[in-house]
Amino acid sequence: MITKNTKRIIIINLLVYLLVELSVKFNIYTLGLWFFYMIGWPPSSEFFLPFQSVSYQFIHSGFYHLLMNMLSLFYFGSQVEKKIGSNKFLIFYIVCGIVSEFFHFQFSDSPIVGASGSIWGMLILYWYFYKNDFLSIVFFEVRVNTLFTLLLLSEILSVIFILDSNVSHIAHLGGAFAGLCLLLINKFLVKN
């Protein structure tokens, strides 16, 4: 069963996507302008506003981008939310997205959209909690630890070798880094 904040985040993302599509399809200027200012603009941009560090996480560049992020959230989010609680999950998710944006702007002046950084932070927690479990992928099962190690290596290699891409792999790593740091801080605080 899907948990409270995982469901809310998915619904908000879907609604924002539909409203963006409607504003484009029907040329609704004021609605389109509102979404224009939700994009994560670089701090050097004349369009930059501080709230964009959160709002950009709910704007996606297309249906496939939205689908991949929301499927990941649907599949893994509820399990992580059950482990850490709804309020911590929401804070964790948003903070991972903010750190992800920070990483992106250290290497790029292009605007950023999407929940991928938040998703990568959440995946780090899923990895931590369920590393010895198996996931069924199409016709085979793979250990979570193996799959997530390969995914993380793929992101690292993408940062190193794919220099011209519409995907901000460094933002993904930023979200993963934030997830790891928050995990370590939380473990430290709980022990003491």
Render pLDDT for 81-109 as a digit per residue (tens, 0 to 9): 999 999 999 999 999 999 999 999 999 99
Tell which residue, 49, 44, 55, 46, has the closest CA to residue 20: 55
DSSP letter, residue 56:
G
Q: What is the phi-psi region of residue 168: left when phi exceeds 0, alpha when psi lies from -120 to 50, beta otherwise?
A: beta
The pLDDT of 134-150, averaged and rounded, is 93
Predicted pLDDT at 26: 85
For 74, 134, 151, the CA distances from 154, given in Å and listed in that order, are 22, 20, 5
Is pLDDT at 27 greater than 80 in this prediction? yes
Topology adopted by domain 4-191: Rhomboid-like fold (1.20.1540)
Residue 134: CB partners within 8 Å, gap ≥ 6? 141, 142, 143, 144
Predicted pLDDT at 35: 87
- CA–CA separation, 103 and 179 (whole Å): 13
Give pTM, 2 decimals: 0.94
Predicted pLDDT at 192: 44
- CA–CA separation, 85 and 79 (whole Å): 10
